[in-house]
Structure 1
Amino acid sequence: MKKVVLRIGGMTCSACSSGLEKYLSRQEGVSSASVNLVLSLATIEYENLSKKDLERFVKEAGFQSLGEFKGVEDLESKKEDKTKYIVLGILILIMMYLGMGEMLGLPTIPFLNMDYPVLLSSVLLLITIVYLIFGFDILKSGFTNLIHRMPNMDTLVLFSVFFSLAYSLFGYVQIILGNLSYMHHLYFESAAMVLYFVKLGRYIESFSKDQTKSAIRKLVQITPSKAIVKDGEKLTEVTIDEVSTGDTLVCRAGDKVAVDGTVTSGKTYVDESFITGESAPVLKTSGSKVIAGSICYDGYIEYSAEKIGKESTISEIVTMVVDATNTKSKVQKMADRISGYFVPIILAIAIVTFILSYLLGCSFSVSFTHFVTALVVACPCALGLAVPLVVVVSNGLCAEKGLFLRNGEVLERAKTIDTIVLDKTGTLTQGKLRVYEFQNDSNLTDAEFLNVVANLESFSSHPIHTAFDVTKKLDVSHFEELSGMGILAKINDDEYYLGNHKILTRLKLKNRYQTKEDDYSKAGCSIIYVVQNKKLIGIIGVKDTVREESKEAIREFMHRGIDVVMLTGDHEGVANQIAKEVGIRHVISDVLPKEKASYIEKLKQDGKHVIMVGDGINDAPALVASSIGISINQGTDVAMDSADVILMNNNLSNIIDFIDISKQSYHIIWQNLFWAFFYNALMIPIAAGLLLPLGITMNPMVASIAMTISSLTVVMNSLRLRRWKNERN
């Protein structure tokens, strides 16, 4: 199965996106299609087809394929000149003055008044032609989508403009023939105003949509375009495209790291706030990973280029954010389904309105006005923008907090969370382990003993390996990770087991270090037993430091009524000590990775909505089993994580922000949906003339203004989320 994201041109409303989505999904070879109106992107999964086939399908549906989405720079939209909107706005006022000024008692213009009906109507027709040219893209879109049986907002505009113009042209011919009564039955200004206000609304809307993309765009804009390559003693400035994997690059104070890599020499503090959300500088020394876009505060480093272009952390994150924005939640799918039926229903209502008005005794002119007004006032755009705009804004907010979502459904699930399960190492603690104390009963010196352990642990994925430094490289072979226990490997002819007390149980060895284990556990240490050739030769206590922000986050979770559980494979004594420090009452210790997943499943069976927070590798089964899996990530290997959300820093308080953003997002989404339904439920009956007996009526010009205001109300309400601040601040 292949996947591609195409940039789409010509989409103007939710009926466009839902229509294109349905059309693509019906094509043979397409397994799924998701179209994002806000970003103008179509995500397609397919097989036995070429990209040209997919682009042909898009064209057949009445839209333009602008090529494959390759990066955030493709989100840039072409800016229209605002001058023409100002000029055409003035022209609209002139047109209204000519058409209605005399009826309102305003001074008339010589030769352009009711005394010169042919000249006046001819001028109004000429001005209308200007607006037909101005709004030709709308009329073309409406006609194309009608032919493809996917009527959209533009189709409603096309019908209203076409019938207004047709009736006005009939009246214009009658005026030329001397039937001056038709001067009061011209709708030239109505056709012009409908086109103008629809275009103006979309022009303003485009600025709002661009604001929603800004957080995504910022991620790429921080990446430098050039790098300094070191070749021997020679330094050369090159473009990023010229950098190859393995090149030695240089970063000086004030420079930006050009590509992802590993520091080979030097020392500096870097600013990674753009990706982690944390403002505190991070120390980088030999062996440290650096991320493209990081700013060196001081010092000087040389680093080896590893991930360039699409493979970089930034590119992976941008892809993730775009994918999350393209994934539709249940409420968005519901809104899209309604939008798909909206336009045909409005067309039917408008036709029925015309027929009933005429049969009930209204004149042809009044019945026609009701018909056109009903077409114009209906607004599927408000309904279509209600959800995706909020999703894009909330994704941007999360990104600013160092939280990156893999799909849009996560936001919907987060608002119901009532339980959070936390791993210990690297989540509640700093993950910067050190050797607290050890006992060596082998034939090796203490330095040799620790070096053997360091060599063995260097192959492990568990964070505990960071407590040891290799001083001399040894020949390690037959390495095996023992899930929930430790590791097994050989050095030369010696077989080693390293791990927790379960290693002793497996090998049926007596624990002669029980007293040491108790002492280390009370000190909050993780225990490593060292077994050589089935003989217990040593014990090591490795200690981590609790994060101060973890304590604050735990208090905040509990204050909000969220149950907090520590779920760890560590020994009971160590787990209880850490739990006591951070204020967690419920501790589950000595569990294997698969047992973590079983515990999560049990919580869900009990009706709990669970967030699991872990390291993304050892906790993968539990992350997948949870309602929402959040992995702690230090800026590398984003694509490898199995979690729903990647937290690019260790600050658990940002998870509280994530939950709050989710709740606020869906509060605004339901406000938007209520407004969209309320507006249409109120305006369509008025436009259809139901309140005519009460003297309340509406004309196409007022309808076009109301429709524009409706869309802009949803847009502005969605952008209100950008001003969100967490309660703690």
Structure 2
Amino acid sequence: MTTHTDHDLTTAARGTDGTTAENLHEVDLAISGMTCASCSARVEKKLNRLDGCEATVNLATEKAKVRFSAPLTIEDIMATVEKTGYGASLIEPRGGPDGRTHDGSAGNGDAHGEHDHMEDIAPVDVLKRRALIAAALTVPVVILAMAPGMDFAANPWLQLALTTPVVLWAAWPFHRAAAINARHLASTMDTLVSIGVSAAYLYSLVGVLSGAASGGMAGMDGEAEPATHLYFETAAVITTFLLMGRWMEARAKKRGKSALETLLTLGAKDVAVLRDGGEQRIPIEQLAVGEEFVVRPGEKVATDGVVVDGASAVDASMMTGEPVPLDVGPGDDVTGGTVNAHGRLIVRATAVGAETTLAAMARLVEDAQTGKAPVQRLADRVSAVFVPVVLVVAVLTLIGWWVATGEFTTALPIAITVLIIACPCALGLATPTALLVGTGRGAELGVLIKGPQILEDTRRVNTALIDKTGTVTTGEMTLQHIETDGEITEEAALLAAAAVESGSEHPIARAVTAAAAERGLQPPAIRDFAALAGSGARAVVVGSRSEQEVTVGRADLFETVPESLASGEMTIPGTRILVGWDGRARAALTVTDTVRGTSAAAIGDLAELGLSAYLLTGDNLTAARSVARAVGIPEDRVIADVRPEDKYAVVERLQREGKVVAMVGDGVNDAAALAQADLGLAMGSGTDVAMNSADIVLMRTDLASVPTAIGLSRQTLRTIKQNLGWAFAYNTAAIPLAVAGLLNPMIAGGAMALSSVLVVTNSLRLRRFGRH
């Protein structure tokens, strides 16, 4: 059975202070100053040590999701973060349909505290400036140090002059972070970089100032001593490579976040509301539930609502990935952020601010990106102890080579190489960057993956249990056949059924009432209407001379069903409902549902992914098998005549048989089954029920989005494993080579920077998922 511990809390009703229905508090914090996996692991460890606190810290998004209970306060939590050596600020809940906070900001929080994380969370332009200036100064240093014919007296002083701003200014973020961590008796990747760069620079500085770099000083035997070797180029090149890597990494991470940023900008900024007999253009934040507003051609629908007047087609492709605009008219629901293609609409707002579908989508995506996949736990445990171990290894390497060779100048670059090559950047970025890009691409395709733990579930599923109506089929039914017991006419049967069904919004009810209207029949009035969940409906039909209680629905609602009506179920494909009174069925109405054009291909795609599809329906077996044949589902995988409340038991039975079940439903009648399944996918609703019950919410009603969701989830998980595999292999292989003296410090700096870029670039390949 799927557990929903993480995302159930995220979708619970929240007050403005973050209080959930369980009287817990949940907040998002912007964490500044984190530069590697050991940083995020240390913050997470410190927070989780607080009584009543549960935290997840994500390096790529630079956020922490924290759940806590009294007497712990948000001030206590932020103080703990700052005592650990990092900055923390509260991210306000999104308050508007455009995803903005109460103060109108973009909702990222203004991080404060001792760290500014490469000057206020490493904006790309700051890193670019540092990296390019460092590169411009480093190139001549390398030429002076390595090019032939550069043995002139001023050479060491020129190297010193060019390298000093690189080490003191360009590398300042590394030194600053290392110093703050040292004050808290901690070490991170910045510690390794700062020590390595500083050691190379200071050793060379002493050589220049003492005159030893120029050589020519007389020794004890009266002969001139050789010049001390300088490592200015090592310090400069390492700094430049790492800054270049950080710059490229920041650019890639920004691209990975672009899908969510696009989602958050979909909402309208203002709205033409109908007030005091006219239109008033107001900021979207001032719109209230129940107010009516105007949507002109080409404008965005300001918020979720229902069409009151007008007809048009609405383009929801930016939210759902569905390229075909949807026709809407009076009574139809519309979603905020979609675009009105043509025609003027008047819409009554049904949800505003944080309660809209768009805001809920943004919360789900952000929650998933802030979370942590199970495969990340090993990386976190390794990173937490990695840096201290590397420091020890570097010191032992320095001593060992110094003792073995008797040359400090031989031992120093080898120790520096160990420090630089061992930085666990790639390890820390392996999971969060893939998760960032994968969930962002999912949002573009209308696939909302609730949390990183869901990725593991998609890998295991081998059975897809698919609800028929509205999923495999369109849910738009039409009346095909009327059969009576011979005692009443077809017209009388249709009138009685239409009268009862006029009180229902069920697709079958709409098909019956539409058929009566097409034939020019006017159903009589009714009273005491009662919907019989999963079975049918009952009402008292008020005629001109008498009243009669009429029942419409399944056979088990009647005491007597004539053989002629019962046998028809086996021969006429379609959904069959009975009409009768006084305990006896008088007629049978058969309605058919249109199979979606993409359903057969989607079933084939699921088979390619290794999933066996089962069709689940409350319809009779004949109708169900007819649909199953049309989409390629074997008849032995058809489960018919199932009431909504029994779907849970079907999922449980398949699980007892050893199957790992993905349940695909509409998220309304299927809530219990979605929760029971190993993987729940709710299609095309975006309702609260769907988001609470399912693991993946599909904004499209097309079954093709199911293999898309499972395929994307699996590809994201594969990418995470590829990244972790590379990161572990890189560090495992590189450190012994560095200790053995087989790597140059400059090569180590380039390789370390390249490893991080490689991981992020590999994650960015997920942006192309689904594009052919």
TM-score between the two structures when normalised by the length of structure 2: 0.83
Q: CA deviation at 1:381?
A: 0.9
Tell me which residue corresponds to 2:703: 652
> Which of 282, 299, 319 in structure 2 is aligned with 1:275?
319
Tell me which residue corresponds to 2:501: 454
Tell me which residue corresponds to 2:560: 510
SS in 2 for 1:383: helix
Alpha-carbon distance between aligned partners in 2 of 1:177 and 1:402, rounded to the nearest angstrom: 64
Alpha-carbon distance between aligned partners in 2 of 1:594 and 1:183, rounded to the nearest angstrom: 87
SS in 1 for 2:615: strand
1:41 aligns with 2:63: yes
The residue type paired with residue 63 of structure 1 is: Y
Counterpart contact for 2:569–2:620, Cα < 8 Å:
no
**Aligned pairs (5 A) from 1:198-209:** 198-209=242-253
Alpha-carbon distance between aligned partners in 2 of 1:648 and 1:39, rounded to the nearest angstrom: 24
Alpha-carbon distance between aligned partners in 1 of 2:664 and 2:606, rounded to the nearest angstrom: 13
CA gap 1:209/1:312 in 2 versus in 1, 3 angstroms: same
> Which of 42, 45, 51 in structure 2 is aligned with 1:28?
51
Counterpart contact for 1:455–1:474, Cα < 8 Å:
no
Counterpart contact for 2:496–2:579, Cα < 8 Å:
no
Alpha-carbon distance between aligned partners in 2 of 1:332 and 1:465, rounded to the nearest angstrom: 50
Counterpart contact for 1:403–1:647, Cα < 8 Å:
yes
Alpha-carbon distance between aligned partners in 2 of 1:593 and 1:683, rounded to the nearest angstrom: 58
CA deviations 1:134-185 (Å, max 9, x no partner) are: 3322222223234434422112112223433443454455339998669624
The residue type paired with residue 123 of structure 1 is: A
Alpha-carbon distance between aligned partners in 1 of 2:173 and 2:378, rounded to the nearest angstrom: 29
Q: How much identity, in percent, do the aligned residues show? A: 32
**Aligned pairs (5 A) from 1:492-503:** 498-503=552-557
Which 10-residue stretch deviates more, 652-661 or 621-630? 652-661
Alpha-carbon distance between aligned partners in 1 of 2:670 and 2:258, rounded to the nearest angstrom: 33
Which 10-residue stretch deviates more, 199-208 or 636-645? 636-645
The residue type paired with residue 184 of structure 1 is: T
CA gap 1:385/1:401 in 2 versus in 1, 3 angstroms: same
CA deviations 1:32-62 (Å, max 9, x no partner) are: 2111111111111111133222222221221
Alpha-carbon distance between aligned partners in 2 of 1:69 and 1:703, rounded to the nearest angstrom: 42
CA deviations 1:245-265 (Å, max 9, x no partner) are: 111111122221111100011
Tell me which residue corresponds to 1:332: 376
CA gap 1:618/1:224 in 2 versus in 1, 3 angstroms: same
The residue type paired with residue 587 of structure 1 is: V
CA gap 1:70/1:571 in 2 versus in 1, 3 angstroms: same
**Aligned pairs (5 A) from 1:608-647:** 608-637=659-688, 640-647=691-698
The residue type paired with residue 154 of structure 2 is: L
> Which of 152, 161, 167 in structure 2 is aligned with 1:123?
161
> Which of 128, 133, 139 in structure 2 is aligned with 1:87?
133
Tell me which residue corresponds to 1:74: 107
Counterpart contact for 2:307–2:333, Cα < 8 Å:
yes
Tell me which residue corresponds to 2:78: 55
Tell me which residue corresponds to 2:29: 6
Counterpart contact for 2:213–2:227, Cα < 8 Å:
no
Alpha-carbon distance between aligned partners in 1 of 2:605 and 2:744, rounded to the nearest angstrom: 53
Alpha-carbon distance between aligned partners in 2 of 1:609 and 1:198, rounded to the nearest angstrom: 45
Q: CA deviation at 1:476?
A: 6.7
Alpha-carbon distance between aligned partners in 2 of 1:474 and 1:350, rounded to the nearest angstrom: 89
The residue type paired with residue 625 of structure 2 is: N
The residue type paired with residue 707 of structure 2 is: I
Tell me which residue corresponds to 1:112: 154
Which 10-residue stretch deviates more, 463-472 or 158-167? 463-472
**Aligned pairs (5 A) from 1:181-330:** 184-231=228-275, 233-330=277-374
Alpha-carbon distance between aligned partners in 1 of 2:653 and 2:311, rounded to the nearest angstrom: 48
Tell me which residue corresponds to 2:753: 708
The residue type paired with residue 653 of structure 2 is: K
CA deviations 1:477-520 (Å, max 9, x no partner) are: 695654x434577899987765322333xxxx1113x5345546
Q: How much is the aligned-residue C-alpha RMSD, in angstroms?
A: 3.2
Alpha-carbon distance between aligned partners in 2 of 1:177 and 1:485, rounded to the nearest angstrom: 93
Tell me which residue corresponds to 1:64: 87
CA gap 1:282/1:708 in 2 versus in 1, 3 angstroms: same
The residue type paired with residue 74 of structure 1 is: G
CA gap 1:717/1:264 in 2 versus in 1, 3 angstroms: same
Which 10-residue stretch deviates more, 74-83 or 174-183? 174-183
CA gap 1:487/1:67 in 2 versus in 1, 3 angstroms: same
Q: CA deviation at 1:207?
A: 0.6
Alpha-carbon distance between aligned partners in 1 of 2:460 and 2:232, rounded to the nearest angstrom: 53
Gaps of 5+ in 1: none
SS in 2 for 1:184: coil
1:155 aligns with 2:191: yes
Alpha-carbon distance between aligned partners in 1 of 2:83 and 2:388, rounded to the nearest angstrom: 20
1:385 aligns with 2:449: no
1:143 aligns with 2:179: yes
**Aligned pairs (5 A) from 1:471-620:** 482=533, 484-486=534-536, 498-504=552-558, 509-512=559-562, 514-516=563-565, 518-519=567-568, 522-530=571-579, 539-558=588-607, 561-585=610-634, 586-620=637-671
Which 10-residue stretch deviates more, 172-181 or 308-317? 172-181
The residue type paired with residue 501 of structure 1 is: A
Q: CA deviation at 1:532?
A: 5.8
Alpha-carbon distance between aligned partners in 2 of 1:495 and 1:343, rounded to the nearest angstrom: 79
Alpha-carbon distance between aligned partners in 2 of 1:427 and 1:522, rounded to the nearest angstrom: 24
CA gap 1:365/1:563 in 2 versus in 1, 3 angstroms: same
CA deviations 1:103-137 (Å, max 9, x no partner) are: x323567x6226xxxx457535xx42453233322
Counterpart contact for 1:521–1:527, Cα < 8 Å:
no
SS in 1 for 2:475: coil
> Which of 713, 718, 723 in structure 1 is aligned with 2:763?
718
Gaps of 5+ in 2: 1-23, 100-105, 110-120, 218-224, 515-521
Alpha-carbon distance between aligned partners in 2 of 1:280 and 1:195, rounded to the nearest angstrom: 51
Counterpart contact for 1:554–1:584, Cα < 8 Å:
yes
